[in-house]
Structure 1
């Protein structure tokens, strides 16, 4: 069916922002010398406007390095959407993927697509006058949420306790701690101290950020079983699908992983190996909402729990539309870039009722703008 003039995409603005963190944070990758402390998040945005005035906002991100390449590739892709019907989301995803086919369908290529894909879904939901979660068929209007940003290894125990109290006061329902130090015994001591501080009732997770080998993970996992954790996250290399599956069969605590996988295909391989009890796809990393929905459909077949990584402003909608148990990760790093705030109470993050994603860029974000390009007719 030919595209009508009123439906066609007319203008796209692609922008790159460097959103600063209040304080640099360090996880196990920093302590083991693999990375430097994280001080900001590079956020790529796509603002799409159609001839009839429909608008959509989408975004993705990268950490530490790669932002210039991400922005450059997005500028290359944007002209391919001009004149297209924004309702043809699946076809347009494939079109953009083929435009960058020579640099693969993973990593930077699909992370650039994610911003456009999310903006197209935003348009679709706004036109229906529904939040994205309701457009996708929400199973619930509130999703349990846990905080990560207060539990980094760069924080002392007193700082963690303060962050925990602030999270609970805000209505957040769970806490995640970073582990994966060179000395595993220090990890065990840290988790024991926090568990004693918060009691056994509060959901508590740990995240090793891929720093253990299988032997270490088995020993650490067995030692951590006593703390009744909700999950152990990324104990092994992200691509060690079989190792995660084996570990999950040898310890009581559920294994979670998937956040560092950068395409739907990589997540399918993890699912084939039954490597996670909690699956953690990241819409910004795997190409947006379109591939995320394909992955979550496969996870549903295995009746897995879902705990999307980061990007709570997008993932609240996707988690609400998943039939089985879900968590949303509360990391407030991108909050200052938007005018709106997500409602949190009773241990849950609530599905916004505003149309689409329900987001608009804040005036404050303009101060972090690093590059922008307008593409149109």
Structure 2
């Protein structure tokens, strides 16, 4: 089977700017990758985000165009084998999109959900097979804690989310600590905050913050990527001192491949297929990490619905019951199709073949305008 690959560039405006330690983003742009065979189509989303660990948009565009030229007559199996051999990839977002489109197409043709297809070659496949109405717990993405409006916080609670993620490291630490403490005071007993610093703090600042948070540690789910300039020994000490999980995210690619989870200094891994280089290497890393006793969550690159669907299928394949970071669709003012349904803080996956994504929006063109 030799699929026909197509690229559709898109530019999706955000409802409000996305603020992190890396600055502001007002839109998300990328390419929808489509793998066609007869009347069936699989989808992948290439949405580079360099600050999260991907390549630049220029590098992704070059990779995608070169791939279409060089592999135009290759079978699905051949293309997947080539992509697998090239991990770690210098263009992980492009490679992940290509792999996802091919895997999605194969799953649809085989009558399997993408999650079932991903685990089909593993010993746990029968236990991991999707059941009707499968639910994946997810966290609410509320943006920068210093900018958080009470209305957004209240909407997340009303929607049933039990983990609320906020960005930190974008305002003075005193102001952010005050905001965190105020939020924790308003949290229901079964709801916790997830903090993401994007490596914004120094080692000393991180240590001070951990001490300041100790009285409310039971309200904190995790702190992701607290600092950039720290050795693994220093990170291990931080984790031992922390009363909650610390996590590695965008710093993972710099550690080389294959990663040895036994050597990683923190308790949790945050995995993005567009950063790791594909669904299969992400699942492989997740399995190894879980076997080593580490926690694993799958999160979004604030990509289109096509990317969210495949990442949700990956989250299901990992079997992780933690709250995954896949509730980002409402940040987009336009999308390429319906996003996964979220109810009571959980994402619901159907049992239809493939990822579940349906391409319905043809209006998100290069300049984000409506046609």
Aligned equivalents of 1:198, 1:336: Cα separation in 2: 31
- Aligned equivalent of 1:331, options 328, 331, 334: 328
Aligned equivalents of 1:256, 1:170: Cα separation in 2: 26
- Does structure 1 residue 191 correspond to structure 2 residue 180? yes
Aligned equivalents of 2:281, 2:111: Cα separation in 1: 23
In structure 2, relative to structure 1, the CA distance for the partners of 1:263 and 1:125 (3 Å cut) is: farther
Structure 2 residue ranges without an equivalent (≥5): 120-124, 301-306
Q: CA deviation at 1:132?
A: 1.0
Residue 85 (structure 1) aligns with: 75
Aligned equivalents of 2:195, 2:29: Cα separation in 1: 25
- Structure 1 contact 303–324 (Cα < 8 Å) conserved: no
- Structure 2 contact 203–229 (Cα < 8 Å) conserved: no
Matches within 5 A, 1:162-181: 162-181=151-170
SS of the residue corresponding to residue 244 of structure 2 reads coil
SS of the residue corresponding to residue 239 of structure 2 reads helix
Structure 1 residue ranges without an equivalent (≥5): 1-6, 31-36, 99-104, 371-377
Q: CA deviation at 1:94?
A: 4.0
Aligned equivalents of 1:231, 1:365: Cα separation in 2: 38
Residue 235 (structure 1) aligns with: 226
Residue 118 (structure 1) aligns with: 100
Q: CA deviation at 1:340?
A: 2.3
State the TM-score, normalized to the length of structure 1.
Answer: 0.82
SS of the residue corresponding to residue 318 of structure 2 reads coil
Residue 122 (structure 2) aligns with: none
Aligned equivalents of 2:354, 2:185: Cα separation in 1: 42
Matches within 5 A, 1:150-229: 150-153=142-145, 155-156=147-148, 159=149, 161-181=150-170, 183-227=172-216, 228=218, 229=220
- Does structure 1 residue 130 correspond to structure 2 residue 120? no
Q: CA deviation at 1:290?
A: 2.0
- Aligned equivalent of 1:71, options 61, 76, 100: 61
The Cα offsets for residues 180-208 of structure 1, whole Å up to 9 and x where unpaired, read as 24532222111011111223421211111
Q: CA deviation at 1:93?
A: 0.9
State the TM-score, normalized to the length of structure 2.
Answer: 0.83
Q: CA deviation at 1:365?
A: 4.4
Deviates more, 1:257-266 or 1:357-366: 257-266
Matches within 5 A, 1:2-17: 7-9=1-3, 11-17=4-10
In structure 2, relative to structure 1, the CA distance for the partners of 1:334 and 1:301 (3 Å cut) is: farther
Q: CA deviation at 1:88?
A: 4.6
Residue 48 (structure 1) aligns with: 35
Aligned equivalents of 2:322, 2:210: Cα separation in 1: 22
- Structure 1 contact 122–357 (Cα < 8 Å) conserved: yes
- Structure 1 contact 173–348 (Cα < 8 Å) conserved: no
In structure 2, relative to structure 1, the CA distance for the partners of 1:253 and 1:268 (3 Å cut) is: same
Aligned equivalents of 1:223, 1:210: Cα separation in 2: 18
The Cα offsets for residues 322-375 of structure 1, whole Å up to 9 and x where unpaired, read as 2343322111145832322312223211223232111133325433468xxxxx
- Aligned equivalent of 1:350, options 348, 356, 361: 348
The Cα offsets for residues 148-190 of structure 1, whole Å up to 9 and x where unpaired, read as 1x2325624xx1x211222233333321112124532222111
Aligned equivalents of 2:201, 2:360: Cα separation in 1: 40
- Does structure 1 residue 60 correspond to structure 2 residue 46? yes
Residue 241 (structure 2) aligns with: 250
CA RMSD of the aligned region, Å?
2.7
Q: CA deviation at 1:145?
A: 0.7
